[in-house]
Amino acid sequence: MKLTKLGHACVRLEQGDTTLVIDPGVFTESDALAGADAVLITHEHFDHFVEAQLRAALAADPALRVWANRSVAAQLDGVAQRVTVVGDGDAFEVGGVSVTVHGELHAVIHPDVPRVGNIGFAVDGRLFHPGDALTVPPHPVETLLVPAGAPWAKLSELLDYVRSAGPGQALGVHEALLSEIGQQFYGRMLGEGGPGTGAPFRQLAAGEQLDLG
């Protein structure tokens, strides 16, 4: 499986002839969905889901399919036959790549800010994208994506999250809201310069690829 970082919370996963894109939002490159077989959306916030962008991709490729929670699917009227609603505990396959769904709600931003639905995706049992929540996957994964620059997240919570999940490695996502200095700081604290999580931490630049084996 090959992972390509596409900006902020978006990643592209390729295994064999199958390509999945998770969370192409407003900070994601415009060609993120080109050639994808499936788009997986964790939740409705604009940095993870842009309705117009997704509709354009669906119009351009009749074979493209979407898996998302109910609130995202509700915004895609007219193309509902190509959108599958999934929630915690569901499982599906795309071109032989297995995906399981975990979690229900977005992390708390503030008590006065209503929480929206949020689901995480475990792909092929090896990689977990939690969206905007610190959902611990039910089984350890080799690669855990960590929302390192979320306005709702505390550094201590991120450290404990990686420790609780126990992955083989952690990759930073959701970093567009951090300055370059901020990204370096969080990378150091979640990596070798911090108190330790039990997993090596990496930050990929937009367009950088990583072979997940």
Distance CA 71, CA 160 (A): 29
Average pLDDT over residues 32-40: 96
Distance CA 39, CA 177 (A): 23
Share of the chain above pLDDT 90, in %: 96
Q: What is the pLDDT of residue 213?
A: 83
Distance CA 194, CA 85 (A): 39
Q: Print burial letters for 157-196: b (CB count within 10 Å at least 16), e (below 16).
A: ebbebbeebebebbbbbbbbebeeeebebbbebbbeebee
CA atoms in the 13 A half-sphere facing the CB of 17: 2
For 40-60, how does the pLDDT look when each residue is reduced to its tens digit (9 = 90+)? 999 999 999 999 999 999 999
Beta bridge partners of 2: 14, 211
For 145-197, how does the pLDDT look when each residue is reduced to its tens digit (9 = 90+)? 999 999 999 999 999 999 999 999 999 999 999 999 999 999 999 999 999 99
Distance CA 115, CA 74 (A): 17
Show the domains of the chain with their CATH numbers.
2-196 (3.60.15.10)
Q: What is the pLDDT of residue 29?
A: 86
Other CB atoms closer than 10 Å to residue 137's CB: what's the count? Answer: 22
Nearest-5° angle of CA 78, CA 83, CA 85?
125
- Give the pair of three-digit tokens for residue 100: 């399981």
For 113-134, how does the pLDDT look when each residue is reduced to its tens digit (9 = 90+)? 999 999 999 999 999 999 999 9
pTM confidence score: 0.96
